[in-house]
Amino acid sequence: MKRDVPPQVLNKIMDEGYENLILDLFMEKEENDDYEISDIPMSPRIMKSSNEQVIMTQKVYDAYLRLVNRVSNPETAEEIPFFLLGNCKEVNGKRVVEYEDIIYDIKDGLSETRVSTDDDKFRQVLNDDRYNIISIGHTHGNVREEIKKKSLAANLPQDLIDMYRIRTTGLNISISDIWQHEYYKQIAEQIAQGSKRIYQTVIMYNGDFITISSNAIAKSNDIKVQNRGDIVIPSGTEKQNQEQLQYSILEQQIGKTTADTPTIKKSEAQNQVTRDEQELEQGITKEN
Ligand SMILES: [Zn+2]
């Protein structure tokens, strides 16, 4: 396994409680240079639940649904980079992150297994004083079977998969996601000197919303849409036990499908959005 991750990033992740996972997977593939340490998958199933509430504006929520919808199809399952812009506040003693806007950040071509964020655009959004929080985000898609088969997650012995509750490709984050967060946090530190909070968001094709911050790697389960009382996120809002049940059903469905049939049974919320890829493309082009 190639040792591509800087030690300080690795130490941070180990301190978050992932030491055994990293060591076990490293030892398992130590002799195999097809994989890198940054490939090591970390499953939302072993993550804690975020203690912050997320509130999205209707615009951000619509974009979120469109992204989930798009990357659940193996034909369009690329990692799409974006920035979520918002403000962090305290409401009745509870920390709330309000995402007001989303901008896409597509400079180079899209890939199913890699994402690149535009440093210049990041510097630009850092200077926007309407927001005190910037989340660098991207999607994890339901990639084609041949890509899944090559992934580290698909090439681990069953006992490790069970022990660390590792899911199929697209439904885990990887160490590279945390590395990316550290990298942008450092740029922000130099430019904004602590005036901005930098997060990293990963939106998965089953709707999971993962937030990496300075002090947590967590799954956001408390998500609301501004000015709407109800919670309408396709997944990620259920209580832990229901959540596990849903995951196992979902994973069975995914396991049974082939690469050329769209997999996920759409939830009611997803169905509200028309499957309009062009609209997303236009959004992307417009923002650039
Ligand atoms: Zn990622």
* pLDDT at residue number 261: 29
Neighbours of ion ligand 1 (CB under 5 A): 177
Query: For residue 45, is pLDDT > 90?
Result: yes
Q: From ligand 1's centre to the CA of 10, what distance in Å? A: 16
In a domain, 187, yes or no: yes
* pLDDT at residue number 229: 61
Instruction: Measure the CA–CA gap between 286 and 6, rounded to whole angstroms.
Output: 36
Average pLDDT over residues 121-135: 93
* Range list of β-strands (E), 12-120: 41-42, 48-49, 53-56, 81-91, 94-104
Angle at 176 between CA 174 and CA 179, to 5 degrees: 125
In a domain, 175, yes or no: yes
In order of 10, 61, 108, 175, 242, the CA distances from 179 in angstroms are 8, 26, 20, 6, 31
Q: From ligand 1's centre to the CA of 65, what distance in Å? A: 18
Range of the domain at 164: 7-287
Instruction: Report pLDDT digits (tens) over 49-75.
Output: 999 999 999 999 999 999 999 999 999
Q: From ligand 1's centre to the CA of 112, what distance in Å? A: 10
Given a contact cutoff of 8 angstroms between Cβ atoms, the answer to whether 218 and 211 are in contact is: yes
Q: From ligand 1's centre to the CA of 240, what distance in Å? A: 23
Reported confidence tier of residue 86, pLDDT bands at 50, 70, 90 = very high
pTM, entire model: 0.81
Structure token pair of residue 235: 């997944």
Given a contact cutoff of 8 angstroms between Cβ atoms, the answer to whether 220 and 204 are in contact is: no
Instruction: Report pLDDT digits (tens) over 180-224.
Output: 999 999 999 998 888 899 999 999 999 999 999 998 999 998 888
Structural domains counted in the chain: 1
Instruction: Measure the CA–CA gap between 67 and 142, rounded to whole angstroms.
Output: 12
Q: From ligand 1's centre to the CA of 189, what distance in Å? A: 22
Rounded (10°) CA dihedral 191, 214, 113, 287? -40
Q: From ligand 1's centre to the CA of 18, what distance in Å? A: 17
In a domain, 1, yes or no: no
Q: Check residues 36 and 192 and name the one with the higher pLDDT.
A: 36
**Percent of the chain scored above 70 by pLDDT?**
79
Query: Three-state DSSP class for 124?
Result: helix
Structure token pair of residue 278: 């062009």
Q: From ligand 1's centre to the CA of 36, what distance in Å? A: 14
Q: Which long-range contacts (CB under 8 A, 24 or more apart) does 105-108 make?
A: 105/81, 105/287, 106/80, 106/81, 106/284, 106/288, 107/288
In a domain, 84, yes or no: yes
Q: From ligand 1's centre to the CA of 207, what distance in Å? A: 14
Greatest alpha-carbon span in the chain: 54
Rounded (10°) CA dihedral 135, 211, 52, 120? -10
In a domain, 2, yes or no: no
In a domain, 270, yes or no: yes
